[in-house]
């Protein structure tokens, strides 16, 4: 469904030559599937039960479908050999209610680009299994920035290190805040080293099959483009006197 937004007053200066002409948006694309929680005990994937299961399942839907990268290294398993969705986004501070992030339509069609507002954030989206809690692996969407995405591409296209979804290949990801910037550290982990280095058991084939059934395909999106009317509202917001 379209995002609900409240538009406030303009608080920044756009180029004097900017115009508010817009073009029609592409047809609405599919929404992303939410994460799915499974248990991977000796009997393979089983349906969770009880209040704990309710909490875990609820946390795998909505905004919580995204991978949280923290200062502690999280073990992940990448399901595909490339991103299923890649896009740039604009940050509109003037939007007072709802997401301030607006997916760029892409040049030369994007009305925001046409009025001089540059898309500043790059996202490459991967399906990953998060093993933050090794006893309860969860499907997450990982939005990687350009630096990490390039690292992943190098690995994916390397005959000795790739592909990303090799059966014996896992990764760890963590972040570190340095002054005003955030740096991400990505490391490859062989399946044989998982337990010794991170106290994590490798996923069973049954668990992997369950997660693969929920995975995105190329062309699925995690953030829909605004339709023509909603984009026109954002443009008007930035162009009003």
The phi, psi pair for 191, rounded to 5°, reads -55, -40
Q: Note whether 112 and 90 are within 8 A (CB).
A: yes
What is the domain partition of the chain in residue ranges? 33-239
Short-list 77, 212, 57, 86, CA closest to 145:
86
What is the model's pLDDT at position 27?
A: 32
User: What are the CA-CA distances from residue 156 to residues 81, 170, 212 (Å)?
Assistant: 6, 13, 18
Short-list 216, 220, 222, 210, CA closest to 37:
210
Tell me the CB-side half-sphere exposure of residue 194, using CA atoms within 13 A.
20
Which tens digit of pLDDT belongs to each residue from 26-52?
Answer: 333 323 333 333 333 333 333 334 444
Q: Note whether 152 and 86 are within 8 A (CB).
A: no
Stretches in the chain below the pLDDT threshold 70: 1-63, 241
User: What are the CA-CA distances from residue 155 to residues 143, 163, 187 (Å)?
Assistant: 17, 7, 11
Q: Note whether 194 and 185 are within 8 A (CB).
A: no
What is the model's pLDDT at position 63?
A: 56
pTM listed for this prediction: 0.72
CA distance 113 to 103: 11
Q: Residue 169, SS3?
A: strand
What is the model's pLDDT at position 26?
A: 35
What is the model's pLDDT at position 172?
A: 96
Question: What distance, in Å, lies between the first and last C-alpha atoms of the chain?
Answer: 31
CA distance 186 to 34: 24
Tell me the CB-side half-sphere exposure of residue 220, using CA atoms within 13 A.
17
CA distance 40 to 20: 53
CA distance 102 to 76: 28
């Amino acid at each position: 469904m379209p995002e609900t937004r409240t538009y406030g007053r303009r608080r920044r200066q756009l180029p004097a030559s900017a115009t508010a002409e817009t073009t029609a948006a592409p047809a609405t694309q599919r929404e992303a599937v939410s994460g799915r929680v499974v248990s991977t005990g000796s009997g393979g994937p089983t349906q969770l039960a009880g209040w704990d299961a309710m909490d875990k399942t609820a946390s795998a839907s909505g905004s919580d479908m995204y991978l949280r990268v923290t200062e502690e290294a999280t073990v992940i398993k990448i399901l595909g050999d490339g991103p299923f969705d890649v896009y740039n986004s604009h940050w509109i501070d003037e939007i007072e209610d709802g997401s301030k992030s607006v997916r760029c339509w892409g040049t030369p069609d994007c009305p925001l680009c046409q009025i001089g507002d540059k898309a500043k954030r790059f996202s490459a989206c991967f399906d990953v299994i998060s093993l933050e809690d090794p006893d309860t692996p969860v499907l997450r969407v990982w939005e990687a920035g350009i630096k990490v995405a390039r690292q992943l591409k190098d690995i994916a296209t390397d005959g000795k290190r790739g592909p990303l979804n090799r059966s014996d290949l896992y990764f760890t990801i963590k972040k570190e805040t340095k002054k005003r910037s955030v740096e991400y550290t990505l490391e490859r982990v062989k399946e044989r080293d998982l337990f010794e280095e991170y106290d994590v058991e490798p996923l069973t084939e049954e668990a992997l099959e369950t997660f693969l059934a929920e995975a995105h395909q190329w062309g699925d999106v995690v953030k829909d483009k605004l339709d023509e009317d909603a984009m026109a509202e954002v443009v008007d917001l930035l162009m009003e006197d």
